[in-house]
């Protein structure tokens, strides 16, 4: 096994964040050798878009040793602009729900965060600063800890359709 030099471009940043409720998934299979996952949604269910201000979506992973092996702790942070009712309603619907996140970076790499057994969880903070220049809106954080790294989406379409109604 070897890690070789990357010969393609390496653009930073994340494009869209998609989510689906665990209850909307028909099947979720991961090949442990290739780390490629395939998710099939129930009839009539779709991936949901979650807009964030450009260049505010951040993914971090920390590997922690445990007696049972390495634990992979993921955190996805994003800023959703402006205090508005449609955002509050959508975020409220995610509270205490089991989520699977599909994060697609600007290199086209798509990964699934969360599993059927251990889904991602959402927390949010509304910020309304005293000064005009400060950030006004929601900071949303998705977290989860797993015994294996997040799977990569199988090659093919992203399932993501840009929503032109979402904007700053």
Mean pLDDT throughout 134-150?
91
Residue 9, pLDDT > 70, answer no
Q: What is the CA radius of gyration of the chain?
A: 17
The pLDDT score that the predictor gives to residue 74 is: 96
The pLDDT score that the predictor gives to residue 4 is: 53
Residue 146, pLDDT > 50, answer yes
User: Is the pTM of the predicted complex or chain greater than 0.85?
Assistant: no
The domains of the chain are located at 14-151
- Range 6-15 burial, b when 16+ CB lie within 10 A, else e: eeeeeeeebb
More confident residue, 7 or 126: 126
Closest to 146 (Cα-Cα) out of 68, 77, 94: 68
Task: Indicate the range of 25-29, 35-39, 61-65, 83-87 predicted with least confidence.
Answer: 83-87
The pLDDT score that the predictor gives to residue 162 is: 41
Helix or strand run (H / E) with residue 85: helix 85-94
The pLDDT score that the predictor gives to residue 7 is: 61
Mean pLDDT throughout 60-88?
93
Please, are residues 83 and 128 in contact by the beta-carbon 8 Å criterion? yes
């Amino acid at each position: 096994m070897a890690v070789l030099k990357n010969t393609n471009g390496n653009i930073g940043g994340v494009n869209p964040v998609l989510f689906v409720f665990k209850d909307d998934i028909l099947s979720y299979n991961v090949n442990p050798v290739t780390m490629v996952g395939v998710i099939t949604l129930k009839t009539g269910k779709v991936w949901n878009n979650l807009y964030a201000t450009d260049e505010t979506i951040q993914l971090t992973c920390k590997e922690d040793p445990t007696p049972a092996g390495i634990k992979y702790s993921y955190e996805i942070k994003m800023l959703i602009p402006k205090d508005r009712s449609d955002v509050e309603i959508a975020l409220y619907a995610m509270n205490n729900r089991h989520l699977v996140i599909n994060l697609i970076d600007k290199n086209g790499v798509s990964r699934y965060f969360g599993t059927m057994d251990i889904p991602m969880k959402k927390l949010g903070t509304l910020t309304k600063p005293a000064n005009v220049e400060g950030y006004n809106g929601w900071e949303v954080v998705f977290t989860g800890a797993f015994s294996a790294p997040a799977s990569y989406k199988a090659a093919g379409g992203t399932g993501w359709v840009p929503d032109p109604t979402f904007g700053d």
